[in-house]
Amino acid sequence: MRVMVTGGAGFIGSHLIDRLVARGDSVVAFDNLSSGQLEFIQAHIDNGKVTHVQGDVTDFESVLSSMHGIDCVFHLAANPDIRLGTKITDTDLNQGTIATYNIVEAMRRCDVKRIAFASSSVVYGENAPLPTPENHGPCMPISLYGASKQAGEGLISSWVGTFGLQAWIFRFANIIGTRGTHGVIFDFIHKLKADPSRLEVLGNGLQEKSYMEVEDCVDGILHVMEQSNDPLNLYNLGSHDTASVRRIAEIVVEETQCKDASIEYTGGDRGWAGDIPKAMLGIDKMLSTGFDVRFNSEDAIRHTARALIQEIGFKQEMNK
Amino acid sequence: MRVMVTGGAGFIGSHLIDRLVARGDSVVAFDNLSSGQLEFIQAHIDNGKVTHVQGDVTDFESVLSSMHGIDCVFHLAANPDIRLGTKITDTDLNQGTIATYNIVEAMRRCDVKRIAFASSSVVYGENAPLPTPENHGPCMPISLYGASKQAGEGLISSWVGTFGLQAWIFRFANIIGTRGTHGVIFDFIHKLKADPSRLEVLGNGLQEKSYMEVEDCVDGILHVMEQSNDPLNLYNLGSHDTASVRRIAEIVVEETQCKDASIEYTGGDRGWAGDIPKAMLGIDKMLSTGFDVRFNSEDAIRHTARALIQEIGFKQEMNK
């Protein structure tokens, strides 16, 4: 099968490509390398299994010219920085909503029929019951990133209803793991690298969310796509529990061996305007397909912290 | 209060302005007159109660320059032709989603805090329980128009969560009445005017939806806004029952006195790709505010047919 992965050189995209290559797919990795890194997929490129297209999903012509002959699109590309929406308001509109329009419209024109889309738990907004099932409503996102994910879902479902697309929409928990380029663990390690004596935490640390390890995530995507075949398939992907930001800070301090670091909280019940203090996805539907995660939240966090400390080169820095 | 009504010279907008002027508001009617007509609000303009701005909601600078000093925005402007999305795919993206971004972003920059938004029952998609309550999920629209309304809702809710906007989102049933510029009754009358011997109906005529008279709709908007005061207020607006397209065709044939017209069905369970065969909004939340409609579906249809026959000048044509 010939597949396109948007954001293919990025955090989740590159892990997904590992699996797609392993199952024998031919892959177009569409990525502008704004946060992705070619080295994540370089081995596959060298082996001729993956072609990198240096393109931007906001550029319709570029998307269109790469779409010919594709059997299935995995649309993962997006602005990775949720907080950015509090300062710049058109990033998620352009890189989320309009980009997704470009993808499905290019698919329509090239008669490409299957899409998997990386949506997010943040579409549920706040005050949803926890754990939140797929049929929760109304979904009222409070971040601009969440609004763009919801808009992307709606575009895809309308292309399913109007033009006969088949789609898998995945609402992700917080995905963490190696090759991370953003997120709370990544941020904490960088902060401690800059100043091992203190770690500033946005909010009061009581924010509590569900974390999923990235290889669990991509395995879940492919498993669910094999097990479901409706015109539109909607699945939460997450783990069985949550962890607090306070606990993440403690684990990162432990793993970086910054034992004397003082953890300082900026206060307030959320990290920034549009942050959701508590989130946990209901995963019964995912489990019903026969898929389960290897890691729960805290294990995934420790596993990720150790890996990122290696990748970021924290210890080498400490030993200087 | 100084308010802006986008789509203010249009079908629902002009009726809303009648009420806003009656309660003493000063109104900016922002309308590009693509389907709206200045004559609908000319009397208010002449009286100095309404200012018309010939602007397009897709033009951010135009929206921004009209936003200063506004207390509340009623955002009704949108592509009125749901079927268009089956042929031209970027109309709803531009005139729906991006336009709504322009509105809320201009509000943010001008510190305008209150918005009422005309969403639609079509955000629920198909296969929703009937009557459909506001908390139905997941909302998976099947038309591009529905996708743009859902995207608009999400943008507004994210501005509420991130920038402190206060919003009222109304999911409308099929709104019908005088000054209609589109819709099934309007179409049927025009078809019979062109050929009184036959009436072609898209689909099998069994499509069944809830209809609400336009003055009921605008009264409902203003009543609910007085009775609710959350940061984000979401209400279905509709009537108590439904009517079939077949029944609408019979009523229009009766009211136009085209007694010999044969009603011909194109077949299929829906009028076009993306049409929802059966829709009925749950209105318990609306009723709980103390508001009720004057017309149910069939009465609203007959009332509208009579009024539009006058407006369109059907009888004069028949008598020639």
Q: Which of B101, B110, B127, B236 to mutate to test the interface with A (most CBs of A within 10 A)?
A: B101
Whether the Cβ atoms of residue A234 and residue A281 lie closer than 8 Å to each other: no
What is the model's pLDDT at position A312?
Answer: 87
Whether the Cβ atoms of residue B214 and residue B178 lie closer than 8 Å to each other: yes
Whether the Cβ atoms of residue A21 and residue A48 lie closer than 8 Å to each other: no
The contacts of residue A240 (CB under 8 Å, 6+ apart) are A283, A293, A296, A297
Cβ contacts of B277 on chain A, cutoff 8 Å: none
> Tens-of-pLDDT digits for all 320 residues of chain B?
999 999 999 999 999 999 999 999 999 999 999 999 999 999 999 999 999 999 999 999 999 999 999 999 999 999 988 888 899 999 999 999 999 999 999 999 999 999 999 999 999 999 899 999 999 999 999 999 999 999 999 999 999 999 999 999 999 999 999 998 788 999 999 999 999 999 999 999 999 999 999 999 999 999 999 999 999 999 999 999 999 999 999 999 999 999 899 999 999 998 889 999 999 999 999 999 999 999 999 999 999 999 999 988 875 445 43
Q: Which residues of B touch A (CB under 8 A)?
A: 85-86, 89-90, 93, 97-98, 101, 105, 108, 123, 125-126, 134-144, 146-148, 150-151, 153-155, 157-158, 160-163, 232, 234, 273-274
Count of beta carbons in the 10 Å neighbourhood of residue A81: 16
Which DSSP symbol is given to A244? E
Distance CA B196, CA B308 (A): 16
What is the model's pLDDT at position B315?
Answer: 59
Distance CA A172, CA A177 (A): 14
Phi, then psi, of A152 in degrees rounded to 5: -65, -45
What is the model's pLDDT at position A134?
Answer: 98
Q: What is the mean pLDDT of chain A?
A: 95
Superfamily for domain range A184-209+241-276+295-319: UDP-galactose 4-epimerase, domain 1 (3.90.25.10)
How many CB pairs below 8 Å do chains A and B form together?
Answer: 142
Check for a shared fold between A2-176+213-237 and A184-209+241-276+295-319. Answer: no
Which class would CATH give A2-176+213-237?
A: alpha beta
**In a 3-state reduction of DSSP, which class is residue B203?**
coil
Cβ contacts of B125 on chain A, cutoff 8 Å: 157, 161
Distance CA B178, CA B186 (A): 10
Which DSSP symbol is given to A175? E
Cβ contacts of B140 on chain A, cutoff 8 Å: 153-154, 157, 160-161, 232, 234
The pTM score is: 0.96
HSE-up (13 A, CA, CB side) for residue B12: 29
Residue range A155-202, pLDDT digits in tens: 999 999 999 999 999 999 999 999 987 889 999 999 999 999 999 999
**In a 3-state reduction of DSSP, which class is residue A30?**
strand
What is the model's pLDDT at position B316?
Answer: 42
Which DSSP symbol is given to B133? P
Q: Where are the domains of chain B?
A: 2-176+212-237, 184-209+241-280+295-319
Active-site annotation holder among B124, B145, B211, B235: B145
A2-6, strands of its sheet edge to edge: A50-53, A26-30, A2-6, A72-75, A114-120, A166-172, A232-237
Instruction: Name residue A3's beta-bridge partners.
Output: A27, A72
Q: Which two structure tokens, joined as six digits, stand for B122?
A: 């079509």
ipTM field: 0.95
What CATH number should be reported for the domain whose range is B2-176+212-237? 3.40.50.720
Nearest CB to A157; choose among B97, B142, B154: B142
The set of catalytic residues of A is 145
What is the model's pLDDT at position A320?
Answer: 39
Task: Measure CA A71 to chain center.
Answer: 22
Residue B265 among the catalytic residues? no
Q: Which helix (H) or strand (E) holds A213?
A: strand A211-213
Distance CA B33, CA B46 (A): 18
Which DSSP symbol is given to A113? -
Which class would CATH give B184-209+241-280+295-319?
A: alpha beta
Interchain proximity B162–A141, CB inside 8 Å: no
Which DSSP symbol is given to B8? T
Q: Identify residue A212 by its one-letter amino acid code.
A: M
Q: Which helix (H) or strand (E) holds B43?
A: helix B42-46
Nearest CB to B154; choose among A150, A160, A234: A150
The contacts of residue A169 (CB under 8 Å, 6+ apart) are A116, A117, A119, A153, A156, A157, A232, A233, A234, A235
What angle (nearest 5°) sits at the alpha carbon of residue A132, between those of residues A129 and A134?
Answer: 135
Distance CA B253, CA B261 (A): 7
Q: Is the pLDDT reported for residue A315 higher than 80?
A: no
Q: Which helix (H) or strand (E) holds B168?
A: strand B166-172
Query: B21-27: long-range contacts at Cβ-Cβ below 8 A with a sequence spacing of 24 or more?
Result: B21/B47, B21/B49, B21/B50, B23/B222, B25/B1, B25/B49, B26/B1, B26/B2, B27/B2, B27/B3, B27/B51
